[in-house]
Amino acid sequence: MKKMLPWLITILLGITLIVVAAFLLYGKMFSDTTANAVDTAVKQVETKKLTADEIVEMTSEITEIKTNLADPDYIVLINFAFQLDSKAAKEDFEKIKELKIKPILIKTLADEKPEALNGSAGKDQLCSKLVNQINKALPEGKLTQIDITNFVMTQI
């Protein structure tokens, strides 16, 4: 019995530590702060609802981009709609879209593989890359959303 006592104490101590660690992790993973953060984000999105006229006033289009992809056997024909955060930002965007924005689009598409653009997840990833790159090129304002309005990819 004397030889088993240290083993019993060690096992009970180990179980106690595991239970305490599980309790602490459970508290962090399923706390109400994550629910509150999600509720706050949803409220912010709801308050920023724009009317159709406001969306049209702050949206610019670039159509008929034709370029090869990373695989030279594939070509893409694509149209984009760019929603900016203000009318002033849209005016600046219109001024530089042929000089700055179109080359960014062509370079980004030239790095994409055809498999990466299949499906909505691939297109969403392309749009998020473009938002980050174009926001760096904008002199004023911010690009909030990019939508692909036409997409044709074909093998040549």
CA distances in angstroms from 142 to 101, 103, 155, listed in the order given: 13, 18, 35
Query: Does 11 share its domain with 24?
Result: yes
Q: How many domains is the chain built from?
A: 2
Asked if residue 39 has pLDDT above 70, the reply is: no
Q: Which residues contact 64 (CB under 8 A, 6 or more apart)?
A: 77, 79
What does pTM read for this prediction? 0.66
User: Domain range holding 143?
Assistant: 52-155
Query: Distance between CA atoms of 106 and 104, rounded to whole angstroms?
Result: 6
The residue type found at 99 is L
> What mean pLDDT value characterizes the chain?
85
- Are both 74 and 112 inside the same structural domain? yes
Residues near 131 by Cβ (< 8 Å), separated by ≥ 6?
143, 144, 145, 146
Residues 74 and 120 in one domain: yes
Read off the tokens for 113: 């593989």
Cβ-based burial of 84 (10 A; exposed 0-12, middle 13-18, buried ≥19):
buried
Q: Quick one: 43 and 56 in the same domain?
A: no
Looking at the structure, tell me whether residues 63 and 43 fall in a common domain: no
- pLDDT greater than 50 at residue 73: yes
What does the pLDDT average to over 22-45?
Answer: 60
